[in-house]
A and B are shown apart, each in its own frame.
Chain A
Amino acid sequence: MTGTPVRATLVDRVRTNRRVKTLVASAIPVTWVVVLLLVPYALLLIQSFWRLRNGTLTHELTTENYRRLFSTPLYPATILYSAGVALRVTVISLVLAFPVAYVLAFKVRKHKTLLYMAVIIPLWVSYVVRAYAWKIILGQQGILNGLLMSMGIIRAPLTVLLYSTAAVVLALTHIYTPFTLMPIYAVLDAIPPALKEASQDLYANRWRTFIHVILPLSLPGVVAGCTFAFVLSMGDFLAPQLLGGNDSALMVSNLVWSLFGVAYNWPLGAAVSVVMLALTLMLLWVAGKVEARGSYGGEARSSVTEYAAPV
């Protein structure tokens, strides 16, 4: 190496040219994302403006899909209903998740990671299995009814358990509570113990320490967890289909499902999807703002702020 004169080759010059390097390195991922994500979503948007003529898809532009969407009661009603279900799921799962996150973050010494994993694992275990489990529990000949009857609490099986909004809310809460828990735990765990000690050193008892220090600092996690729980349960289609009954508990995704399936109206389905997409993006944006305002330049940044951040 030593003694030989050093000369820059063409390859070296390409190496040090940052712009060329960027181009080469990002070619594959960017192309992939553009072709398989940007284009399909864009196509969905465009498709929502196409006309369906006599059951055939044409490329004529029209706004009739959106007009139909907003004027037919079914569609706005379903969207509102889905939001209502999602809201209930979000609130209940927050109430359930927060204590568990708190206990895990502050009250567990040994096996903290193990217990955390134990709470998270159901998230990754088959979604179908978890939704289906409720079907066999809540059915008329189901396990819960059988149990209650054998204990003498009820005489005849309850029919309201299954095929109702309550069943859908229950199943969705069951599925998404761990999801809500994750960011809350992450944020709580990141709070330095010294902050709790400092608060107590400054004459705040444990309850007041919670209200004035822990709770405000947990907000980014709470916002993130609630946002994701809301968005995902609003867009869920399996739980309503398995547990909701034929018509009474249809949610937005079931509509899209049938529009792209048996009802065969792709443009309308695309329009509904676009509305869903817009609602979701708006929600994320709002959540990002709420979080940013509440943290006073604090450090915890959840995925929502990551998503809404300028870069």
Chain B
Amino acid sequence: MSAIVELHGLTKRFGTFTALDGISLAVERGEFLTVLGASGSGKTTTLRLIAGFDLATDGRILIEGADVASLPPFKRPVNTVFQQYALFPHMSVRENVGYGLRMQRVPHREIGPRVTEALEMVQLGPFAERAPRQLSGGQQQRVALARAIVNRPRVLLLDEPLGALDLKLRRAMQLELKELQSKLGITFIYVTHDQEEALTMSDRVALMRGGRIEQLGPPRELYDRPRSRYVADFIGETNLLPAVADDRDPGVVTVAGPAGPIPIRAEVRADGVRASVPLWLSVRPESLAVVAAAASPASGGDAGNSLPATVRDIVYAGSVVKLHLALADGTTIVALRSPSDPAFASGASVHVRWPASQGVLVAD
């Protein structure tokens, strides 16, 4: 598989503000790549540079090996699905979808069937003659999608297309988009701030922060092996316990306990972890087991880790019960239990346990 889009040292500055700081990225042909990040992280800027709506300050953009930096949008073989859909209000759905084909001077008799085909693909066949304002948000979004894919672009750029939809609709559309992408085989570059969306849909995720790529890899990798505290915190829910490295044993760190530091085995370490920097142990709530303090010995026993804690809050969330626990130093952590497990009372003393392989040591 070859790279269909390559970014080399791409930089974008607006006056004194650096939106993109020399990022490099290779997008594989046919993959679903999500560029994830908070607002201001540079994800939308990246997309706009690839599409051609803004010009890079420095660096190169290659699409299928060709340098497109000096090409205007209408000469690039990519299409965009806009956040607010950007449907032309003075044209019908059919005219909207056929716009790109008309501009490419596709023969007239070919346009009709292709438009119909694209509309069928997004299940909007009967709406061809409507005006955009007569459609719901979800329908408009699908028109925007059809309008882009009808041109059979090499790469499809999607700028937070599901942001304006409500939760249920968004979940449904996520699945539809993923299916569509597999069926058509088009490379998708998808921008979002919703990490759950990124995890669900992507082949790879590029998490951006402050104009740089914090981590790039399959969703599993970002979740299980975060490379920094930022990634651990951004992706999914996690507990971050301040930890201090033990000089004597590299596999051990200490975490504050009620009567002094408690040794914790940490087998997985991210890059950048050194004794000299602040460290955190990232443990996902689902990895924690909670037992009553009275019922078990203080140590972890089977090479697992154990910490004493007090139950603060019990939150019922349908499929799980979330236990909010306070550690000796006041840090709050969250553990998950099934609703059918015996319940704990608020204020109960417990031990939280997890296997050494489940915690990741991270630095900033």
Interface set of A (CB-CB < 8 Å, partner B) = 192, 194-195, 197-205, 208, 212-213, 216-217, 294-299
Contact at B131–A297, with CB atoms within 8 Å?
yes
What's the nearest-Cβ distance from chain A to residue B79, in Å?
A: 6
Partner pick for A298 among B89, B100, B147, CB 8 A cutoff: B89
**Would you call B74 and A205 a contact (CB within 8 A)?**
yes
Tell me the complex Cα distance, A204–B78, Å: 13
Q: Which residues of A contact B13 (CB under 8 A)?
A: none
Q: Which of B72, B100, B103 has the most CB of A within 10 A?
A: B103
In the bound complex, do residue A202 and residue B131 qualify as a contact, i.e. CB atoms below 8 Å apart?
Answer: no
Given contacts A202-B100, A202-B103, A204-B74, contact A195 B133 (CB under 8 A): no
Contact of B73 (CB < 8 Å), options: A200, A217, A299: A200
Quote the shortest CB–CB distance from A175 to chain B (angstroms): 32
In the assembled complex, the Cα of A194 lies from the Cα of B82 at a distance in Å of 8
What A residues does B87 contact at CB under 8 A? 198
Q: How far is the CA of A217 from the CA of B80 in the complex (A)?
A: 22
Known: A192-B84, A199-B99, A203-B103. A297 touches B89 (CB 8 A): yes
Shortest distance from the beta carbon of A195 to any chain B beta carbon, whole Å: 5
Known A200-B73, A201-B80, A202-B151; judge A195-B103 contact (CB<8 A). Answer: no
How near does chain A come to B131, taking the closest CB pair, in angstroms?
4
Tell me, yes or no, whether B134 is within 8 Å of chain A by CB: yes
Task: List A contacts of B151 (CB < 8 A).
Answer: 202-203
B51 on the A face (CB < 8 A): yes
Q: Are B99 and A216 in contact (CB under 8 A)?
A: no
CA distance in complex: A194, B84 (Å): 8
Q: Is the interface of A mostly helix, strand, loop or mixed?
A: helix
Once bound together, how far apart are the Cα atoms of A202 and B96, in whole Å?
A: 10
Assembled-state Cα–Cα distance A96/B210 (Å): 46
CA distance A113 to B9 in the complex (A): 38
B147 touching A296 by the CB < 8 A rule?
A: no
Shortest Cβ gap from B14 to chain A (Å) = 12
Name B99's contact: one of A202, A295, A298 (CB within 8 Å).
Answer: A202
**How distant is the Cα of A208 from the Cα of B75 in the complex, in angstroms?**
13
Contacts A197-B86, A296-B131, A299-B133 hold; do A202 and B147 have CB atoms under 8 A apart? yes
Instruction: Point out which of B78, B80, B88, B104 has the most chain A C-beta atoms below 10 A from its C-beta.
Output: B88
B82 touches A204 (CB 8 A): no
Cβ-based interface call for B108 (8 A): no
Q: Knowing A192-B86, A296-B90, A298-B89 touch, does A202 contact B79 (C-beta < 8 A)?
A: yes
Most chain B C-beta atoms within 10 Å of own C-beta, residue among A200, A205, A294: A200
With a CB–CB cut-off of 8 A, which chain B residues contact A199?
A: 88, 99, 103
Question: Could you say which residues of chain B place their CB within 8 Å of the CB of A216?
Answer: 90
| Per-position binary interface string of chain B over residues 319-342, scored 1 when its CB falls under 8 Å from any chain A CB and 0 otherwise | 000000000000000000000000
Of A192, A197, A198, A199, chain B has the most CB atoms within 10 Å of the CB of A198
Most interface-central of A197, A201, A298 (chain B CB within 10 A)? A201
A201 cross-chain contacts in B, Cβ below 8 A: 51-53, 73-74, 78-80, 148
> Is B92's beta carbon under 8 Å from chain A?
yes
Tell me the nearest residue of chain A to B48, going by C-beta: A197
8 example contacts (A-B, Cβ-Cβ < 8 A) are as follows A194-B82, A197-B82, A198-B86, A201-B52, A205-B74, A212-B99, A216-B90, A299-B133
Out of A192, A197, A296, A299, name the residue touching B91 (CB < 8 Å).
Answer: A296
Interface string of B82-112 (1 = CB under 8 A from A): 1110111111100000011001100000000
B interface residues, tally (CB under 8 Å): 29
CB distance from A301 to the nearest CB of B (A): 12
B32, chain A: closest CB distance, angstroms: 20
Nearest neighbor of B106 in chain A, beta-carbon distance: A203
Decide if B88 touches A213 in the complex (CB within 8 Å).
yes
| 12 other A-B residue contacts (CB within 8 Å) besides A201-B78, A217-B89 | A197-B51, A197-B53, A197-B73, A200-B53, A200-B73, A202-B99, A203-B103, A204-B103, A205-B72, A205-B74, A216-B90, A297-B89
B73 touching A208 by the CB < 8 A rule? no
Select A297's contact among B78, B84, B133, beta carbons within 8 Å.
B133
Are A298 and B80 in contact, with the CB atoms below 8 A? Answer: no
CA distance A298 to B90 in the complex (A): 5
Interchain CA distance A165-B133 in the complex, whole Å: 47
Q: How far is B74's CA from A151's CA once the two chains are assembled, in angstroms?
A: 50
Give Cα A294 to B131, complex, Å.
13
Q: Which 9 A-B pairs have the closest CB atoms?
A: A202-B100, A297-B131, A198-B86, A194-B86, A203-B103, A200-B73, A298-B89, A204-B103, A201-B80
In the assembled complex, the Cα of A294 lies from the Cα of B92 at a distance in Å of: 13
CB nearest neighbor in B for A194: B86
Once bound together, how far apart are the Cα atoms of A77 and B110, in whole Å? 55
Residue of A nearest to B100 (CB): A202
A218 to chain B, nearest CB (A): 10
CA distance A265 to B82 in the complex (A): 65
B198-223 near A? 1/0 per residue, CB < 8 Å: 00000000000000000000000000
Are the C-beta atoms of B103 and A208 separated by less than 8 Å?
yes
Verify B72–A203 contact, CB threshold 8 A.
Answer: no
Instruction: Determine the distance from Cα of A217 to Cα of B132 in the docked complex, in whole angstroms.
Output: 14
A192 to B88, CA, bound (A): 10
Q: For residue B99, which residues in chain A have a CB less than 8 angstroms away from its CB?
A: 199, 202, 204, 212
B102 to chain A, nearest CB (A): 8
Name the one of B72, B86, B92, B100 contacting A296, with C-beta atoms under 8 angstroms.
B92
Chain B residues with Cβ under 8 A from A197's Cβ? 51, 53, 73, 80, 82, 86
- The distance in angstroms between the C-alpha atoms of A298 and B100, with both chains bound, is 20
Cα-based distance from A8 to B72 in the complex (angstroms): 69
In angstroms, Cα B92 to Cα A26, docked, is: 42
Which residue of chain B has its CB nearest to the CB of A219?
B90
| Closest partner residue, chain B, to A204 (CB atom) | B103
